[in-house]
Structure 1
Amino acid sequence: MSGRWWAGIDWSWGLQDFVVIDRDGATVLHLRVEESHEGVTQILNALRGLNPTSHRFSRRQVPIAIEDGNRLLVAELRRHKQPVIVIPPAVTARYRGRHMAAVSKSDRGDAELLADIIRQNPGRRRPLPETSDHAQAIAVLARTQEFSADTARRAMIRLRSHLGMYFPAAVDAWAGMQHGLRRAEARAVLALAPTPRRAAALSKRVLYDTLAAAGRTRLLDLEAARLHALFAEPRLRQQPATETAMGERTRLYVAELDAACVHAEQMAAQTDAAFSTHPHYAIYRSFPACGPLIAARLFAEIGDDPMRFPTAKGLRAYAGTAPITWSSGRSHTVVHRSVCNRALKRAAHQWAFGSLTRSPGCRALYDARRERGDGYAAALRQVANRLLTGLHHCLRTGQLYDEAAMFRT
């Protein structure tokens, strides 16, 4: 029997196909196990039994490939320190045609294919990072907050589109203001008066009290008078019965928007509270424009495994800010990287944009890149590259951000 093995798991809602292959690509073991403690025990015992006579052999020498790294099966295997390598489904699909001319698919065949991918590319596929439980919890909170914020944005767009069909004054009332219809006062007024007829009947005193109850503290008299005058202006309207019916849908949309906004605010507070107790918190927050949410989103995708990114180049490539070079013969093209961690790329873009007004060095770098002919996005990627390089250095050395050291002249 061969001295080294590779394993693959094809996950499903029922039984999981577990396959082990040797260095020649031949299948030496096939099991069908459940996603349970018993199933994990079967997998670990099967790995131990591959070479029971050797005192140097350990099951941890056998990496396991799987397409989804978020399953409970993977969490349990990692708890037992078993190396797990995640293979994207797109990569698996590309490799499927290499094994046979007539492409077929089966659960066992996919498990064998996953194992064969890491057998053929031993140095290109790395196990999942050793992220702490604290860091994983922060990542879940940060991603949940981002999802809630995106849900609120989508709910606002849906509400605004609906209001435009029968209540344009409500769209104009908070247009141009920060957060627009997501503002707490906007949600409170629309919940009280979801139709133009009911909004026109509101007195200044009722509007004043509604704005105050929603949390507004400044210029209450002027804002109440502005809304009162705006809602009283003659506008095109739907028929009374139709307008009332459309108001009921507005109530639903406002309730959805309010729930998403409240949850996003709560998750923002929980995320910052959880991240503030991590040792990396001070390093992230020392960088310009790296506020609580941006810092948490960056940390959620980078993690706290010091061996995950040995070089800053790897971190930049993972974030999608490092370019890709296509060179063949006389052709030489440099393009931006599209295959990357999209969440980290979004966070880095927002971080770079915010740093332009908070860091003279970032602003000077951005202006220099624009003068050289870079577009807006390309120049921001250069700023993000510099920030990520500095963040990588600070995380490796434990230092805080230093503007003078970051942009030495």
Structure 2
Amino acid sequence: MPRYRCGLDWSESAQDYAVLDDKGNVVSEGRILETYEGLKELLGVLTSPSTARRHPRKQVPIAIETGRSLLVAALRTAGQPVVAINPAVVARYRGRVSPAKKRKSDQSDARLLANIIRTDGQLHRTLPGNSEQLLTLVELSRAQRHAVNQQQYYLRRLRSQLRTYYPAALQAWQGLPKTILRPEARALLRLAPTPAAAGRLTRRQIASTLAAAGRVRLIAHHTERLHALFRQRQLRQPPTAEEAMGVAVLSTLTFLECADQLVHTLAGDMTEVFLAHPQAPIYLSFPGVGPVMGSRLLAELGDDPDRFETAKGLRAYAGVAPLTWTSGGSRSVSHRRVANKLLKATCHQWAFSSLTRSPGARAHYDRRRAAGDQWTGALRHPAGRLLNCLYHCLASEELYQEAKAFPPHSGT
């Protein structure tokens, strides 16, 4: 029985498809919409790509340049194998068809995608079969990460704005955790967004604001300190410009508070889904892994047991495995830049937090630093070791054991 491959050129409106046989001949092509009728039409074409005979639909892989569209989700729900190919890879394959860099069309891209898995299908794998619970965790984890990025962006913006006209608001919380992000700091800033307004505050107003924001200790001490600080003579902007800057700061503060609330709300929802997952105890047994870190790791790695054939493949996907380049007598080793960016950043944070919780990880990091590695390069070594252990623990359903992960080091 001949085998068929399908290429699907994805866009926001119409989707061009092309079905090829073993020899690369086009047996069917057309255009569908991202609707239920379009999905039904495509599945019908895959069931009978040629008029000569019917073909098992689920044996026809579909190549597409995205793995997160609505059509992809519907195809996977229908049991169709989907292969997501990076657009950069597709662009390089386009040179095999024509040397012209500008030559491109939706229909030719659909045929190109089908040809990629026809000739090099063994190099491209179908999307992992993650559970519905994992898909929920992926969305919550990435939304929470985006909220954290927004929170940090508006926090840096707020600091920059205050530095131009109101440095006392920053000096008031120096040396304290979270500084201007503290609830009492935001409450005072909303009450007095300008130096002029802060200078008119009474001790009673400051004390009541601190108490309403949640502070229960040392209220009198902080009241006297802030009252004296706000009444010190400092450099000032012109009065009208100062009032306008106060309005701008209040708008930034509103965005910051919304982002901060989203961070905590999404973290709670994400933690609830993560703790209900059967693999959560394994992740939590590792040093430096809490509910948030475990959620991010599980969301990016997935729960498909067949996704990674070896621990080396897992490390390469996370960007912590070294990349060797050789040509003739030349040879160089560098870190991977093409990887899952979110997982790579998570592993960096994981390795850093494990240094104070795992003696083996700390000793491994110190050895790499003594050997001359920079701190980022040295962190990749314990991260790779922890990923090796995670791969083994998930495969054997065992919890983390420090003695097995980092046995006593022998030699120099």
Q: Is 1:99 paired with 2:97?
A: yes
CA deviation after TM superposition for structure 1 residue 24, in Å: 2.2
Is residue 88 of structure 2 the alignment partner of residue 84 of structure 1? no
Partner of 1:310: 309
State whether residues 185 and 210 of structure 1, in contact with CA within 8 Å, keep that contact through their aligned partners in structure 2: yes
Structure 1 residue 176 displacement after superposition: 4.1
1:178 aligns with 2:177: yes
Q: CA–CA distance in 2 between the matches of 1:318 and 1:227?
A: 51
Query: Quick check: 1:7–1:20 contact (8 Å CA) kept in 2?
Result: yes
Closer, same or farther: CA 54–398 of 1 in aligned 2, 3 Å:
farther
Partner secondary structure for residue 165 of structure 1? helix
Deviation (angstroms), 1:306: 0.5
Distance 1:71 1:49 in 2: 25
Aligned residue type for 1:330: G
Match of 1:336 in 2: 335
Query: Matches of residues 65-214 of structure 1 in structure 2 within 5 Å?
Result: 65-103=63-101, 104-214=103-213
CA distance in 2 between partners of 1:346 and 1:377 (Å) = 11
What is the CA distance between 1:231 and its match in structure 2?
Answer: 1.5
CA distance in 1, matches of 2:372, 2:19: 53
Q: Is the 8 A contact 2:19 2:49 kept in 1?
A: no
CA distance in 2: counterparts of 1:14 and 1:30, whole angstroms:
17
**Deviating more after overlay: 69-78 vs 225-234:** 225-234
Whole-angstrom CA distance in 1 between matches of 2:218 and 2:385: 42
SS in 2 for 1:326: strand
Which residue in 1 is equivalent to 2:60?
Answer: 62
Q: Distance in 2 between matches of 1:3 and 1:72?
A: 30
SS in 2 for 1:8: strand
Q: TM-score, normalised by structure 2?
A: 0.95
Residue correspondence of structure 1 range 8-407 to structure 2 within 5 A? 8-50=7-49, 57-103=55-101, 104-407=103-406
Is the partner of 1:18 in helix, strand or coil?
Answer: strand
Distance 1:152 1:221 in 2: 30
| SS of structure 1 residue aligned to 2:164 | coil
Deviations 1:242-266 (A, max 9, x none): 1111111111000000000011011
Mapped pair 1:3 → 2:2 = yes
Letter in 2 for 1:100: S
Runs of 4+ in 1 over 4 A off after TM superposition: 51-55
Amino acid at match of 1:110: D
Q: CA RMSD in A?
A: 1.5
Q: C-alpha displacement at 1:167, in angstroms?
A: 0.6
| Residues 130 and 254 of structure 1: CA distance in aligned 2, closer, same or farther (over 3 Å) | same
Distance 1:119 1:234, change over 3 A: same
Deviation at 1:184, TM superposition (A): 2.0
Alpha-carbon separation, structure 1, partners of 2:215 and 2:287 = 29
- Matched residues in 2 for 1:114 and 1:347: separation? 32
Contact 1:212 1:220 in 2 (8 A): yes
Q: 1 CA distance for matches of 2:311 and 2:124?
A: 18
CA offset digits 1:154-192 (Å, max 9, x no partner)? 001111111111111112223343333222222211111
Q: Provide the rounded CA distance (Å) in 2 between the counterparts of 1:79 and 1:240.
A: 62
In 1: Cα distance, 2:314 partner to 2:52 partner: 42
Which deviates more, 198-207 or 314-323?
A: 198-207
**What are the superposed Cα offsets for residues 66-95 of structure 1, whole Å, 9 maximum, x if unpaired?**
111111100000001101111111111111
Q: Would you say the 8 A contact 1:65–1:85 is kept in 2? A: yes
User: Matches of 1:93 and 1:54 in 2, distance apart?
Assistant: 34
Equivalent residues of 1:152, 1:182 under 8 A apart:
no
The Cα of 1:117 is off from its aligned counterpart by 1.5
Aligned length: 407
For 1:123, what is the secondary structure of its paired residue? Answer: helix
- Normalising by structure 1, we get a TM-score of 0.96
Give how far 1:225 is off: 2.4
State the 1:16 CA deviation.
Answer: 0.8
| Pairwise CA distance, 1:371 | 1.4
Residues 106 and 54 of structure 1: is their aligned pair in 2 closer, same or farther, counting only changes over 3 Å?
closer
Q: Do the aligned partners of 1:63 and 1:83 also contact (CA within 8 Å) in 2? A: yes
Cα shift at 1:404: 1.2
CA distance in 2, matches of 1:249, 1:170: 15
Higher mean displacement: 345-354 or 91-100: 91-100
The one-letter amino acid paired with 2:78 is H
Q: What SS is found at the alignment partner of 1:317?
A: helix
1-structure distance, mates of 2:94, 2:259: 42
Secondary structure of 1:386 counterpart: helix
Which residue identity does 1:137 align to in structure 2? T
Higher mean C-alpha displacement, 170-179 vs 271-280 = 170-179
Look up the equivalent residue of 1:399 and give its one-letter code. E
Amino acid at match of 1:83: P
